[in-house]
């Protein structure tokens, strides 16, 4: 049996001047910067804060499922808020949809 390797990383020319990523528990609802789903109160999420290359502060909230996808498939780089597009280009489906919806757009096509 062969090993499948997929890396959906993107080349990033500029990196943050400084930053940190921590796992927090939501005290208020947040919206995941990747999938757009609400992170409800009491759920753990990843918070990334820092200073971008243009010296602007940033703060991103990411649900743990999206954080895990980034970790597993984009280990060499990603653009905040661009995970769905990266996965679509790399693997060919929108991970934000349910698996039953992945091929809905192809239903009318004949093979």
- Is 18-95 a CATH 1.20.1630 domain? no
CA distance 85 to 27: 29
CA distance 78 to 109: 33
- Condensed to tens digits (0 to 9), the pLDDT of residues 62-100 reads 999 999 998 888 888 888 899 999 888 888 888 888 767
In this prediction, residues 17-23 reach a mean pLDDT of 90
Give this prediction's pTM: 0.76
Q: What b-and-e string marks burial along 47-56, b requiring 16 or more CB atoms within 10 Å of the CB?
A: bbebeeeeee
Residue percentage of the chain with pLDDT more than 70: 77
In this prediction, residues 20-26 reach a mean pLDDT of 96
Listed by start position, the domains of the chain span 18-95
C-alpha pair distances (Å), 108 with each of 93, 95, 99:
18, 21, 18
Q: How confident is the model at residue 10 (pLDDT cuts 50, 70, 90)?
A: low
């Amino acid at each position: 049996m062969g090993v499948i390797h997929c890396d959906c990383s993107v080349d990033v020319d500029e990196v943050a001047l400084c930053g940190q990523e921590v796992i927090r528990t939501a005290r208020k609802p947040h919206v995941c910067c990747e999938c757009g789903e609400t992170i409800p109160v009491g759920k753990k999420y990843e918070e990334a804060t820092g200073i971008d290359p243009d010296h602007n502060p940033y703060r991103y909230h990411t649900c743990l499922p999206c954080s895990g996808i980034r970790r597993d498939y984009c280990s060499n780089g990603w653009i905040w808020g661009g995970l769905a597009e990266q996965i679509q280009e790399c693997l060919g489906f929108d991970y934000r949809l349910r698996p039953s919806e992945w091929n809905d757009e192809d239903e009318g096509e004949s093979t």
